[in-house]
Amino acid sequence: MCLSRKLVAKSFFIFLFLLISCPGKADSIPTRAIQPLMELGGQTSDLLALPSDVAVDARYIYVVDGGNHRVVVFDHNGRYRFQIGGPGEAEGQFSSPVGITAGNGEIYVADTGNHRIQIFSQTGNFISSIVMHDGGKPARPIDITVNHNGKELYITGNRNHKVMVFSRQGNLLREWGSNGSNRGQFRYPASATLLADGRLAVVDVLNTRVQVFNPGGDLSLVVGDWGVLPGQFFRPKGVAVDSAGRFYVSDSYMNLIQVFADSGEFLYVLGSEDGMPWRFDTPTGIALDTQDRLYVVEMLKNQVSVFEISP
C-alpha cells in the first residue's frame, strides 16, 4: 500500500512537471505565487511537536501543539508569547488537542483526548468547557468553529462521523451526518470553517472532498473529489476561505494547497515565482487573516509557515 501511494504521488508530480514544462503539448496548471513571510517553530526548535492547527485574531497567532498537549501563542511578528495548558485532564489542560478557532474575543480548542471543547480568553485564561457526547457516549471532537454571534459551536466528530452543533452553554442543538460516502455523509470529518454567509465548510478526509452545508445541515456545495489531478484530493486536511469567498484546501499527502472559486470550480495551485507548485511538508490546518495572509501548519516540519498571497 505504501509503495502504491508513493508511486501515485510520484506520478502526480511527473504529470505536473510535464504540463508546466511542455506548454505546447498541454495546458499548463495554473499557479498563484506566494511569498514567505516568517516561520514559527521549525525542525531545529523544540518549541512545537506535531502541530495540527492554527488560528489568528487581531492580537495573536494560536498554534495547537498536539505533541506537547498545549496551545502555543505568538505575536504577529512571530515572537513566542506564552502557552495555554499542558498535559492532563484538569480545567485548562489537554490530551492530544487537534483543532482550534478564534472568535468573539475567545479561543476554542478541540481537546480531543479529553472528549471536550475548552474555551479560553485571548490571554489564555480558562473560561469554560463543554463535554462532547453522542447518544450518551463520549464523542471525539476534531475541529471547532463558531458562528458570528458566538451562540453556536460547530464541531466535527471523528469517530461518529458527524457535525454537532452545541450552544454556548453546552446543549446539543442539532447534528447531521453518518458514516458513509454519499453526499451529506462523512468518513472522518476534520477541519471546518464558516463562510461569511454562515454556511459551514467541512473537510471530509477519507471521502477526499470538502462539503459545504447551510446552517441547518442541508448540503449546499461539494468541492473536489478523489484523485491526483488538479482539483482533486488524495488526503485533504485543512480548509480556509479568503475575503473573496475562495476555498483554500491543504492536501497533507500531496503536499499542496489548491484554491477553488466560491462555486467549487478549481482555480489554481499555490506556487512559487517560477510557476512551480509550492511543496509544503505535510500541510494540515490552515488559516487566513483579515489581510488574507496565509498560515500553514506543516506538521512533520514542526512549524507554521506564514505567506503573503500575490494579488
Among residues 208, 165, 212, the alpha carbon closest in space to that of 187 is found at 208
CA distance 211 to 177: 11
State the maximum Cα–Cα separation within the chain, in Å, rounded to a whole number: 62
pTM: 0.91
Residues 6+ apart with CB under 8 A from 229: 12, 15
What would the pLDDT profile of 120-147 be if each residue is shown by its tens digit?
Answer: 999 999 999 999 988 888 999 999 999 9
Instruction: Specify the 3-state DSSP secondary structure of 223.
Output: strand
Among residues 106, 96, 111, 127, the alpha carbon closest in space to that of 62 is found at 106
- For 95, list phi and psi in degrees, rounded to 5: -130, 105
Q: Do 209 and 222 meet the contact criterion of CB atoms below 8 Å apart?
A: yes
Q: Do 262 and 247 meet the contact criterion of CB atoms below 8 Å apart?
A: yes
On the CB side of 42, how many CA atoms lie within 13 Å of its CA? 9
According to DSSP, residue 14 is labeled H
Q: CA-CA distances (angstroms) from residue 70 to 95, 112, 211? A: 8, 12, 29
Q: Do 67 and 98 meet the contact criterion of CB atoms below 8 Å apart?
A: no
What would the pLDDT profile of 163-214 be if each residue is shown by its tens digit?
Answer: 999 999 999 999 999 999 999 999 999 999 999 999 999 999 999 999 999 9
> pLDDT value at position 20?
44
Cell of 308: 503573503
Terminal-to-terminal C-alpha distance of the chain: 40
Q: How does DSSP assign 252-303, residue by residue?
A: TTTTEEEEE-TTS-EEEEEE-TTSPBP--SSEEEEEE-TT--EEEEEGGGTE
Adjacency order of strands within the sheet including 266-271: 236-241, 247-251, 256-260, 266-271, 31-41, 303-309, 294-298, 283-288
Q: How confident is the model at residue 42 (pLDDT cuts 50, 70, 90)?
A: confident
Rg (C-alpha) for the chain, rounded Å, is 19
Question: How confident is the model over 259-279, as a mean pLDDT?
Answer: 95
* pLDDT value at 5 more than 70: no
Counting Cβ atoms within 10 Å, is residue 184 exposed (0-12), middle (13-18) or buried (19+)?
A: middle
| CA 73 from centre of chain | 18
Q: How confident is the model at residue 108 (pLDDT cuts 50, 70, 90)?
A: very high
Q: How confident is the model at residue 14 (pLDDT cuts 50, 70, 90)?
A: very low
Among residues 83, 69, 175, the alpha carbon closest in space to that of 113 is found at 69
CA distance 156 to 154: 7
Among residues 217, 112, 209, the alpha carbon closest in space to that of 163 is found at 217
